[in-house]
Structure 1
Amino acid sequence: MRALGVWITSRLGLLAVSVMAVPWLVGGRDYLSRWKQWDASLFVTIAEYGYRGNPAQARDPGLPAFFPGLPSVLRLVHLVVTDWALCGLLVSLVAGGVAAVALARLAEFEGGSGERAVLAMVLFPTAVFLAAGYSESLFLAFAIPAWLAARRRQWPLAVLLAAGASSVRITGLFLAVALVVEFALSRPRWRELPWLVIPFVPLIAYSWYLRGLTGDWLAWKHAQEAGWGRELVWPWRAWLTTWNSAMGAGDSAVPFRMEIAGAVVAVAVLVWLLATRRWSEFVYCGLQAGALLTSAYYLSVPRALLLWFPLWVLIARLPARWSIGYGLLLGPLMVLNAMRFLTGAWAG
């Protein structure tokens, strides 16, 4: 319950700061509408109109990049809550609470402090995306309990929860592969092996649906390319493109500097996972890093780190004095980045 208290307190704190700051930053505009920025608006479009988008507007080729889990939940919540932005906030609030409790239990299972793990997550600079109507909180609400169940060797529960994660983000594919590795390393009862197919089913089903809609089995991947130019390149080209953008002048360079900082953290975490022989966690994080760091340019690397629950477990095992320094350093950055998001700037 302490972990849930940390989560709720962090949400109340962010609410208080944003309610006070938004009128000053953006004038008298509606507060809730400020939360429907960037991808949050696209999730609402899918929930309201489907993957063909608003018929009154030009078709957005990037919509298939978003998996149907969050839009489906938004549509259900909208049956009782009329404001779409508020729907997104409520889904993230509840799902984030589930994720926080599961993270605390996972950290304690691994010998760390559950409260410090949750604090590390909610104070991370891009944690605003755990509050907004994005898919991070909903994904973690499935993924962290799935991993905890796998660590406890409760495989039927683990794979069913992982299937939920796979319906929310493509990151579910990386989780599914990591579960296979964890299973293989766990002195398994091989009769349980067929269970591991289940997390891949939502991915196949979504590809099948997109095949019927667009004629393309990999429409979700091609939507990433069409909408955001995320084509596969050599990692040094991705680094160079991002570095050159980060060295520019003005506010447009700030997000790219954040991306580089995120990439450095990602590599450091992967080195730690290798050094400690956390093979399955390395697979989960490494596959994500491989996809992000071989894109045409770095995009959403700091935000993707929110999904790296092994990082929060690592911090939870550090001495308390390290956690205090972490909070004092990154907490203010989280607040500043939240204000960037609410003013419409790119925040990770």
Structure 2
Amino acid sequence: MHIQTSNGNNTMTTQTADSTASIQMSWRTFIDPWWKATLAILPIFLLTRLIFLLLAYFGGVLFFVPNYWPGALTFRSVLYTWHHWDAVRFTTIATQGYPTPEYAAFFPLFPSLAHAFSVLFHRDILESTMFISNLAFLGTLIVLYRFVEVEFDPPTARRAALYLSIFPTALFFFAGYNESLFLFFLLLSFYAMRRAAWFLAGLFGGLALLSRSIGIFLALIFFCEFLRQKWPQLRQDWQERQLLRSLRLLPSLLCILLIPLGLAVFAAGLYVRFHDPLAFLHAQAGWRQGLSFPWVAPFIGIKSLFSIPLYTFANAHIIIELIAIGLFLALLILALFGPERFRRDQWPLLLYGLLALVYITIFPGSPGNGGIPYDPMPSAQRLVLEIFPGFIVLARLGRRSWFHQGYLLLALPMLAFLVLQFITGHWTI
């Protein structure tokens, strides 16, 4: 009996050890590619943050004091050169909540996280928004690299991370804006969808929608990707008249409801605050015209180029907007046709890219003083940052050395220029 008990204990010990080793191996298999992705993008992240810090320091000092001024600025005064436009609105929401209905256009997750960080660590609110923005961008680069590595290849993933980091308007991943937080959850949702992790896809999609209204498109993408993956099984069930067997897919499909749940939570909060659950839509009326066809805003911009003087702020701004929209339209076309086209199973990525591009143009900006259409495509040059399929196409083109070098030579000086424009308050976006 003693020997049998000993053998039994040895068997149980061996089984426990095997189970522990299996769990450790599973975790290692899961963590290793993410750790490698982190190591791959870390130099890009750190170097670009250093560039922004240097520009913030030199621009924040030398552009705001007279030559050879003997005084000294404070860290706070230099930091607050980044406190412009939407950054002001986010810090206001983070400290005061939603003071008026006009602020409802800005979704709550980003300022809520900034508020929590500020209270927990007793930090300045602008510093908190910028910390959340940069931390989320680190996560964005990791997920982007991993996503592109799986869907394409590691060199393309590395270039995609680099090209996104130095795009001329990538300064909004450093400023106190919500772009990086939205893109982080957007990419996580896409990654989970492509891996058929439907609950996580819905959860991350809901968080993306709590960051920006364009996240509502993820519900459509979720449905399309689910149907793409499950269609062979559904077709087989229908052919075999086993319709009840298809009901086993229903719990996974219902995870799609987690995405609009984020919007429902925000709408409920707005009803409590303003008795208007759609205040986030109504708040746009101050600077946007009504819903239009997607070609209306670009047409207004092109018409303005020939109807107002060339050397005006409005014209220069419109040229930047048209270049941004035209560039990403061309990139999405290249993803459909030619040597850089995506695989057939990757069409949901293209669908999102097209929807995001259309979203930029369907609400033209309101005319400025004197009837001049000052901003027909508001924030287009910033919103294209969210069209990540376009950056994948850029990265695929970047395997050609001449294209890679050309992109670096164009993007980096433009990024530096727009940073200095932003911190000196000379560029509205």
TM-score of the superposition, structure 1-length normalised? 0.91
Instruction: Flag the 1:62–1:241 CA change in 2: closer, same or farther, 3 A.
Output: farther
Equivalent in the alignment of 1:239: 298
Cα displacement string for residues 241-273 of structure 1 (whole angstroms, at most 9, x for unaligned residues): 323445543334322211111121232233234
Q: Which residue of 2 aligns with 1:210?
A: 270
Instruction: Measure how far apart 1:212 and its partner are.
Output: 3.2
Match of 2:229 in 1: 186
The amino acid of 1:270's aligned partner reads L
Matched AA of 2:313 = D
Match of 1:100 among 138, 141, 160: 141
Report the 3-state secondary structure (helix = DSSP H, G, I; strand = E; otherwise coil) of the residue aligned with 1:185.
helix
Aligned-CA RMSD value: 2.0
Looking at structure 2, the residues matched to 311 and 76 of structure 1 have their Cα atoms a distance apart, in angstroms, of: 34
Counterpart of 2:385?
306
**Bigger Rg over Cα:** 2
Deviations 1:122-152 (A, max 9, x none): 1111100010000001112211122112222
Mapping 1:110-125, distance limit 5 Å: 110-112=151-153, 113=155, 114-125=157-168
Correspondence for 2:347: 279
**Equivalent-residue separation in structure 2 for 1:81 and 1:171 (angstroms):** 32
Quick one: distance in 1 between partners of 2:277 and 2:268? 6
My pick for the range that moved more, 178-187 or 311-320, is: 311-320
Residue aligning to 2:404: 323
**CA-CA distance at 1:343 after TM superposition:** 0.9
Q: What do residues 270-313 of structure 1 show as CA deviations (whole Å, max 9, x unaligned)?
A: 32344445431232222222222122221111111111111222
- DSSP-derived class of the 1:199 partner: helix
Please list the CA deviations of residues 179-203 of structure 1 after superposition, one character each: whole Å capped at 9, or x if unmatched: 2212211236723111111111011
In the alignment, residue 306 of structure 1 is paired with which amino acid?
L
The match for 1:267 among 322, 325, 329 is 329
Superposed, 1:1-348 pairs within 5 Å as 1-27=39-65, 30-52=77-99, 59=100, 61-79=101-119, 80-112=121-153, 113=155, 114-187=157-230, 190-191=249-250, 192-226=252-286, 228-246=287-305, 247-248=308-309, 249-275=311-337, 276=341, 277=344, 278-296=346-364, 297-318=376-397, 319-321=399-401, 322-346=403-427, 348=429
- More relative contact order, 1 or 2 (CA 8 Å, 6+ apart): 1
1:235–1:293 CA contact under 8 A, matched in 2: yes
Identity %: 30
Instruction: Give the whole-Å Cα distance in 1 for the aligned partners of 2:228 and 2:295.
Output: 33
Within 2, Cα distance between the matches of 1:269 and 1:115? 18
CA–CA distance in structure 2, aligned partners of residues 116 and 240 of structure 1: 33
Structure 1 spans left out of the alignment, 5+ residues: 53-58
Alignment coverage as a number of residue pairs: 340
Say if 1:337 and 1:347, in contact at 8 Å, map to a contact too: no
Deviations, residues 82-109 of structure 1 (Å, cap 9, x unaligned): 3121111111111110111111111111
Greater mean alpha carbon deviation, residues 172-181 or residues 128-137: 172-181
The structural deviation recorded for 1:164 is 1.2
The SS at the match of 1:37 is coil
1:117–1:316 contact (8 Å) kept in structure 2: yes
Which moved further from structure 2: 27-36 or 295-304?
27-36
Gaps of 5+ in 2: 1-38, 66-72, 232-247, 365-375
**In 1, are the aligned partners of 2:137 and 2:181 still within 8 Å (CA)?**
yes
Distance in 1 (CA, whole Å) between partners of 2:112 and 2:289 is 25
Other-structure match for 1:55: none
Offset of residue 347 of structure 1: 5.2
In the TM superposition, what whole-angstrom CA distance separates every residue of 1:171-227 from its partner, at most 9, and x where no partner exists?
21122321221221123672311111111101122122223333333211111112x
Pick closer, same or farther for the CA change 1:334–1:70 going to 2, 3 Å. same
Letter in 2 for 1:215: H
Q: TM-score, normalised by structure 2?
A: 0.75
Equivalents in 1 of 2:277, 2:188: separation in Å?
30
Distance in 2 (alpha carbons) for counterparts of 1:258 and 1:250: 13
